[in-house]
Structure 1
Amino acid sequence: MKKIFDMNGSVFSAMTTVYQILALNLFFIISGIWIVTTGAAVTALYSCCLKIAYHEPVDLYVDFKRAFKQNLKVSTIIWLAMLIVALILFLGTYYFQQVRFLIGLWIMFGTGTIAILAAEYLFPLIARYENTRTGYLRNAINLSFQHSAYSIIIFVVDVALLVFLPVFIPKLFLLWLATAFAATVLINSYIFKYVFDKYDESVKE
């Protein structure tokens, strides 16, 4: 019984995780509320959560702030590019639907699927590695296809926690707002750790 409540016990570990999620979620909301800085906020969130997943020392506030500043430029450029791509896909889908051009709709669907799966990897890659913008994009696309099963799992986690939960269980909205973003990224970070470990091993070889 004592082992459960000691510093390495399950209770203390669970309380630490809850604290980390609440704190990081608050940092994310404050730094990403301006929309244009959302990309940098997501990168900073992944930077801290990946350190947690890798069992690396992490000072939540200091590391979040440092990652936000260091990756502000590249993350913002990529984030704005993602918004533009999303807008083009939305308008293209709407247009092809209006003219009932089925092939065009399938092209939009295929392009959108690739964009969504690749986008899942962009900010974790920025948070973890040094690269160029084209390098991040190339690696994101490659990893999303090489690890398609994990890409789908990450997508399901994102949709379930960030979309379905507040829509279908509105009574939990305040709890969702206080935890959902950091909890989602933390869960994803453990999946990305598995993917990145394979990538790191191949590079070492």
Structure 2
Amino acid sequence: MKFFSIDSPLYKFMQRLTDVLILNILWLLFSLPIVTIGCSTAAAFSVAMKFVDESEGHIWNDFITGFKANWKQGLPLGLISIVAVIAVYLDFTIADQVENSLPFMIVGFLTAFFLLFCLLYVFPLIVRYENTIPKSLKNSFRLGMKHIGRTFLLLIVVALELLLIFWNEITLFVGLLIGPACIIYTISGTAMHIFRETEKDPGAVSNPEKLHEHDGQ
């Protein structure tokens, strides 16, 4: 029956769902020491971006290769991400406890916005391009600002995914199995689309000034 053939939409969906499940398990296992979460996230993005390009090979081999290739940048970026989340959380916690909370709330929202845009595309960037961590963070921010509409749409989709994951105990269990990989896959799709547009201008990704000037919309 065509409905169950290898070319059917159902078969392709189930195959991709299985790939995401395997990727999520690998991400969870390699993130267990916590300090390696950045390395495993970079590795997961290296696989997810191949999903988007439909050029993936063996998930396990691709993940290990991505882990080894990006651990030097993934490790510090993971720690930076953890510190950033803690800093924003502490700011809003303080704001909730003090009488005049408005200044803390403003600082918290501005800090969260800046950090979110710095980190949103940084892992896809280090996977796809050779660059320093500071330049990758700067490029992530500039890409996010340059493609502000697309980026906000991406954030809405990710927020909906998180809402669905934490909806109840059942969705939380399912979310634990595929949630992080789904979010990584979602970000990879937008990132790859932006990268392809940006790459029309040679050197734009390696040169922050060109990223700033490139239209790309």
Give the TM interval when normalised to the shorter protein: 0.7 to 0.9
Give 1:18-57 correspondences, 5 Å limit.
Answer: 18-57=17-56
Match of 2:100 in 1: 100
**TM-score, L = length of structure 2:** 0.83
Q: Is the 8 A contact 1:52 1:58 kept in 2?
A: no
Cα distance per residue 1:99-134 (max 9 Å; x no partner): 515334313311211111221111111122211111
The answer to whether structure 1 residue 89 and structure 2 residue 92 are counterparts is no
Cα distance 1:105–1:169, how it changes in 2: closer, same or farther (>3 A)? Answer: closer
What is the CA distance between 1:57 and its match in structure 2?
A: 3.3
Task: For 1:1-205, list aligned pairs within 5 A.
Answer: 2=2, 4-95=3-94, 98=98, 100=100, 102-162=102-162, 164-203=163-202
**Runs of at least 5 residues in structure 2 that lack an aligned partner in the other structure:** 205-217
**Deviation, structure 1 residue 139:** 0.4
Change (3 A) 1:204 1:41: same
Report how far residue 141 of structure 1 moved.
0.7
Cα shift at 1:40: 1.1
How far apart, in 1, do the equivalents of 2:23 and 2:89 lie?
31
Point out 4+ residue stretches in structure 1 off by more than 4 angstroms.
none
TM-score by length of 1: 0.88
- 1:25 and 1:122 mapped to 2: Cα distance? 19
Partner of residue 214, structure 2: none
Aligned amino acid, residue 130 of structure 1: E
Does the residue aligned with 1:175 lie in a helix, a strand or coil? Answer: helix
Alpha-carbon RMSD: 2.1
Other structure's SS at 1:201 match: coil
Structure 1 gaps, min length 5: none
Deviation string 1:60-79 (CA, Å, 9 cap, x unpaired) is 00010111122112111012
Decide which moves more: 182-191 or 18-27.
Answer: 182-191
Offset of residue 31 of structure 1: 0.6
Q: How far apart, CA to CA, are the structure 2 residues paired with 1:26 and 1:128?
A: 23
SS in structure 2 opposite 1:203?
coil
Structure 1 residues 93 and 73, CA, compared in 2 at 3 Å: closer, same or farther?
Answer: same
Question: CA offset at residue 182 of structure 1?
Answer: 1.4
> Relative CO higher for 1 or 2, CA cutoff 8 Å, sep ≥ 6?
1
Tell me by how many angstroms 1:204 deviates.
Answer: 6.8
Please tell me whether the aligned partners of residues 39 and 76 of structure 1 are also in contact (alpha carbons under 8 angstroms): yes
- Give yes or no for contact 2:158–2:183 (8 Å, CA) kept in 1: yes
Query: Post-superposition shift, 1:18?
Result: 1.6
Letter of the 2:48 partner, please give it.
C
Q: C-alpha distance in 2, partners of 1:151/1:95?
A: 29
Q: 1:62 to 1:93 in 2, by over 3 A?
A: same
Q: Which has the higher helix share?
A: 1
Which moves more between the two structures, 146-155 or 92-101? Answer: 92-101
Shift of residue 175, structure 1, vs aligned partner: 1.9
With 19-28 and 87-96 compared, the bigger mean Cα shift is at 87-96
Please list the CA deviations of residues 40-66 of structure 1 after superposition, one character each: whole Å capped at 9, or x if unmatched.
111111111111101213220001011
Task: Verify the 8 A CA contact 1:119 1:140 in the aligned structure 2.
Answer: yes
